[in-house]
Structure 1
Amino acid sequence: MSNPLQGAQFVLAAHRISQLPADQGAEVAFAGRSNAGKSSALNALTGHKGLARTSKTPGRTQQMVAFSLPPPVQVEGQPPPDVRLIDLPGYGYAKVPLEMREHWKLEIDAYLHQRRSLRGLVLIVDIRHPLKEFDRLMLEFCFATQLPCHLLLTKADKLSRGQATQALAALRKQFAAEGLHATAQIFSSSAGTGVDEARQAVMTLLRQPREGAHQGRER
């Protein structure tokens, strides 16, 4: 299967949302705790091992990073839309200074509320651990604002196939019990598990129509 995300390129790293590329076209944001494997997932999805910076020190990336994607099939008579992936700063690593954590809390909140080109969120969660406060906040925000969300349960290679399947089933049951609407899948960047499925999920999000501003209740 060909990779629809192949050809992704670094555009810029922004300290504030005002520094991001023009708010037009379509983009999908990636969010997750600092040690959940977000950079590795981005590299696996794009087929570019060095696209997102990975580090043995979680929390190293403290900027919003924009990657451009090749335009989708052009509609006759119309210019191809801008399509992007946005890597949001990893959250929750204790060694990040408090001032920096507060800055990114405000910037991520503003980004999710104000960014009109945002079509969906990919939330990176370590399959071996229950949902953390940050994960729940993101899920609740997406639900409240009707922003589509797709979970990648990463590091599935650390579990047996049966354990991974059970973890996914338990999460889906939890979603149903709590009334949350998000899709989820098993994923491993190192083993290649679920990579094609995740690529298609990202493309589906990019094709989502823009349903007005993502204005909902404040978190």
Structure 2
Amino acid sequence: MDTQELKFVKASFVKSGTKPDHYPPAELPEIAVMGRSNVGKSSLMNSLFNRKNLVKVSNTPGRTQLINFFLVDDALSVVDLPGYGYAKVPPKIRKQWRPMIETYLTSREALIGCLLLFDIRRIPNDDDLDLWVWLRHFGFTVIPVITKSDKLSAQKGRNQLKRIANVLEVPLEALVVTSSKTHKGRDKLRKLMSGLCWDFTPPEPEEMDEAEGPDESETTEENHADQGE
């Protein structure tokens, strides 16, 4: 891929799905955005896209379990994965989350990296750490993104960042500290995302099965599902 830095001047919803035959073609580099319900994922993505409501925020976090695909500058696919860990989510939906996410992560050849989000006010818990370790164990490039930095004072924020870095066992400077309210960290995160695209080579196209049925996934922006924060 051309090394020209993405400008994030154009963003659009592509489609939603739950399984590989719902996904759009893997022709562009792809970055997945992940985090607990209410971590601020939708707000961060809207900030990155410079759009107020492109990524919908749900009033019932974690209840919708769809993978939402977005296109940036006709050059990058950004994927909103369902939030995890919301206590009020029905057990059936919680059970569906893991296989759906694992299938996406292990089958998507265009996936070049993941943004894993952490609320600055909360120390990563077992769910966060399990996903953090799993992603890195399987060789994914994972950028730890700290959200809602405006919610703490400067001193409390510094102390909390040290704790989070210690739990994740990464240098403090590895954390990308953001605020969707002030857009802090947005330019840095955009540059990191652009950098991940530089060495991307599109996967070899697969032959279409003539007997394959129609794609039943959602394809309109109006219908794409709320994912919660």
Q: Do Structure 1 and Structure 2 share a fold, with TM-score over 0.5?
A: yes
Partner amino acid for 1:7? K
Q: What aligned pairs does 1:136-155 form with structure 2 within 5 A after superposition? A: 136-155=129-148
Q: Pairwise mapping of residues 31-46 of structure 1 onto structure 2 (< 5 A)?
A: 31-46=34-49
Aligned residue for 1:194? 185
Q: TM-score, normalised by structure 1?
A: 0.81
Name the amino acid aligned to 1:128: R
Match of 1:158 among 131, 151, 159: 151
* Structure 1 equivalent of residue 24 of structure 2: 21
SS state of the match for residue 141, structure 1? helix
Which of 121-130 and 138-147 deviates more? 138-147
The CA deviation string for residues 125-146 of structure 1, in whole angstroms up to 9 with x for no partner, is 1111111222112211222122
Offset of residue 162 of structure 1: 2.1
The match for 2:102 among 106, 109, 131 is: 109
Q: Identity over the aligned pairs, expressed in percent?
A: 32
Q: CA deviation at 1:206?
A: 2.9
CA shift at 1:190, angstroms? 0.9
- Equivalent positions of 1:1-219 (< 5 A) are 4-72=7-75, 83-176=76-169, 183-209=174-200
Partner of 1:75: none
| Structure 1 stretch displaced more, 128-137 or 111-120 | 128-137
Distance 1:138 1:183 in 2: 17
Worse-superposed segment, 84-93 or 20-29: 20-29
Q: Hey, what does 2:210 align to over in structure 1? A: none
Q: CA deviation at 1:108?
A: 0.2
Higher mean C-alpha deviation, range 11-20 or range 25-34: 11-20
Give the 3-state SS of the residue equivalent to 1:152 in structure 2: strand
- 1:153, distance to aligned residue in structure 2 (A): 0.9
Stretches of structure 1 that go unaligned for 5 or more consecutive residues are 73-82, 213-219
Deviation (angstroms), 1:175: 3.5
> 1:103 and 1:57 mapped to 2: Cα distance?
17
| Contact 1:24–1:116 (CA under 8 A) maintained in structure 2 | no
DSSP 3-state at the match of 1:5:
coil
Change (3 A) 1:57 1:208: farther
What is the CA-CA distance between 1:70 and the residue it aligns to?
1.5
Q: Relative contact order (alpha carbons < 8 A, sep ≥ 6): 1 or 2 greater?
A: 2
- TM-score under structure 2 normalisation? 0.78
- Greater displacement, 130-139 / 40-49: 130-139
Between the aligned partners of 2:7 and 2:130, the Cα distance in structure 1 is 30
8 Å Cα contact 2:32-2:81 kept in structure 1: yes
Q: Which SS does the other structure have where 2:161 is aligned?
A: helix
Stretches of 4+ aligned residues off by more than 6 angstroms: none
Give unpaired runs (5+ residues) of structure 2.
Answer: 204-229
Q: Deviations over 1:57-103 (max 9, x none)?
A: 3224421000012235xxxxxxxxxx200000111112222122211
Alpha carbons of structure 1 residues 61 and 5: separation in structure 2 relative to 1, 3 Å: farther
Segment drifting more, 17-26 vs 39-48: 17-26
2:160 maps to a residue whose letter is: A
Q: Contact (CA 8 Å) 1:53, 1:61: kept in 2 or not?
A: no
